[in-house]
Amino acid sequence: MLKTFAIFLVSSILSLAHAATSVRYYTDVDFYSTNAGASYLTLNVETSGDGSSSTAPHVAYLPIRDASDNQLPYFTFAGATNKVPQGNGTTLTGTLRVNLKTTNSDGADRYLYLAVLDSGSAYQIATTSMATIGQVTDQTTTADLNLNNLCDSGITQFNCTDFNTTTAQKEITLYYFLSDSSTLVIGDPVTIDSSNNTGGVFLKLKISQKINSSATLTLTDLRPGDKQLTAIYSGTSITNLKRIVACINGGANTVQALGCTFDNALLKDVDSTSLSAEVKIKELTNSLTYSVSVGIEDKFQMATFMSNALSATPLAIEALLAKNQCYILSAGFQEEHPVVEYYKHIRDHYLKHFFLGKMFIRWYYKTAPQYTSYIIASPKVAYTIRVLATAGFYFSQMIFPIMVCLFGLYLIRKRKA
């Protein structure tokens, strides 16, 4: 009994000692890059846990430009020259910034270092001391890594001469930790295991210069609505897909090719990651013609070539109702929709050609307009109309096949009889 208690006590003391110094990520979005130091790009980051396990590190996606800036037209944000590091085949210029949360209650100063995994489980120091950590609890500490240190650290799996192309992609594992030594230098080997330099956090850094230089989406239709357009597209995926984006232009120019780098153009998130979808592009101006194309943005915040461009003009709901003269359905869909077109086709090619049909149309035009404002103001009513109209559309498409099948069954049964 006494022996068991002693073991427990020693284990507890050791555990407290290990917990006396620690490094943790401050938040999941505190990962940045810069080239000039004046403005920073927030990197895309994936997390699973707090990053303290080598088997579940945080993953950050860092874009790199080549010496000729071939990547610039593909970035989906402004100011890439200042925000994105650059490789010229010899060196990497730029900084990786991570905000960390550091704790030290050991009674003496500790020093923040960054180690990089070379091969297997062998780590090497990639920086001199990044910060001196006194007696603090959960202090915010900014860790800036000069990316060229990765070139100078002597690791075999990371060669900076590769970074001057439009296809280069690398990944490397980093480890932020506190040490009691202030004299470690770049290239020094360091042991990272359950007994040595514990309490740190791991980061898998994915680095890319790759350009997805072909359009992978095709825009098949662009339907106008009230202050919005509905884009219908399909296509194939890319590696590290992040989201679908739409490039819109309300000026005279046609949206084309690269990454939305033309006069009066805007890049919009269409809130989709699907490779075949119908998405709405909102917050547009009615009666202004827009040219639209769509593309895929990867996790490095670079877009593919944009798709083919289509043009359409958003219409105020009143104009849409007047244009379609199919009041109930137009108020329910609030856009030019194939289902609405189907019922208009029935009106124009069937109802208008016999007496009762003409009477129904006159009655409909007299009574339906008074209900449109109520439908537009009630999303539930509009949704119900869309569901019923769509169900009617699909049912009408199936009537003839169903009748043919029933007639066939009737003939078979009659022959058997």
| Same-domain pairing of 105 and 253 | no
My answer on whether 30 and 179 are in the same domain is yes
User: What pTM did the predictor assign?
Assistant: 0.74
Q: pLDDT tens string for the chain (417 positions)? A: 454 444 444 344 334 444 578 999 987 778 999 998 789 999 999 998 889 999 999 999 999 999 999 998 888 888 889 999 999 888 889 999 999 999 998 889 999 999 999 877 789 998 999 999 999 998 999 999 999 888 876 676 677 888 888 898 989 999 999 999 999 998 889 998 888 888 999 999 999 999 887 768 999 999 888 888 989 999 998 889 999 988 887 543 443 444 454 445 678 888 899 999 989 898 888 888 888 888 899 999 998 888 888 988 887 765 666 666 676 777 777 777 887 777 777 777 777 788 887 787 778 777 777 666 667 667 788 788 788 878 877 887 776 666 667 666 766 776 666
Are 242 and 362 contained in the same domain? no
First to last CA, the chain: 91
Of 176, 208, 240, the one marking the end of a domain is 208
**DSSP-derived 3-state class of residue 363:** helix
Which are the contacts of 380, defined by CB distance < 8 A and separation ≥ 6? none
**Do 132 and 27 share a structural domain?**
yes
- Residue in 117, 122, 102 with CA at minimum distance from that of residue 179: 102
Domain of residue 267, CATH code: 2.60.40.10
Give the per-residue pLDDT at 407.
Answer: 63
Within-domain flag for 50: yes
Tell me the C-alpha distance between 1 and 205, whole Å: 49
In angstroms, the Cα distances linking 119 to 150, 203, 304, 328 are: 14, 15, 33, 67
- Give the CATH number, domain containing residue 168: 2.70.50
Number of structural domains found in the chain: 3
- Asked if residue 189 and residue 59 are part of one domain, the reply reads yes
Q: Based on the domain organization, do 104 and 246 belong to the same domain?
A: no
Residue 12 lies in a domain: no
Classify residue 138: in a domain, yes or no.
yes
User: Does the residue 152 lie in any domain?
Assistant: yes
Q: Are residues 196 and 78 in the same domain?
A: yes
The verdict on 270 and 387 lying in the same domain is: no
**Statement to judge: residues 298 and 379 lie in one domain:** no
pLDDT score recorded for residue 291: 87
**Residue 203 has what pLDDT?**
95
Q: Does residue 127 belong to any structural domain of this protein?
A: yes
CB crowding 340-360: b at 16 or more within 10 Å, else e: bebbeeebeeebeeeeeeeee
Range of the domain at 231: 217-312
By the 8 A CB rule, do 76 and 68 touch? no
Is 173 in the same domain as 73? yes
The domain boundary, picked from 312, 347, 366, lies at 312
- Looking at the fold, whether 149 and 241 belong to one and the same domain comes out as no
Position 10 in a domain: no
> What is the per-residue pLDDT for 250?
56
Which one of 175, 208, 241 terminates a domain?
A: 208
Helix (H, G, I), strand (E, B) or coil at 40: coil
Q: How many helices (H) and strands (E) does the chain have?
A: 9, 22
Q: Tell me, yes or no, whether 161 lies in a domain.
A: yes
| pLDDT for the residue numbered 390 | 82
Residue-level pLDDT at 323: 65
Residues 198, 262: one domain?
no
Residue 7 lies in a domain: no
Q: Please check whether residue 219 is in contact with residue 304, taking contact to mean a CB–CB distance below 8 angstroms.
A: no
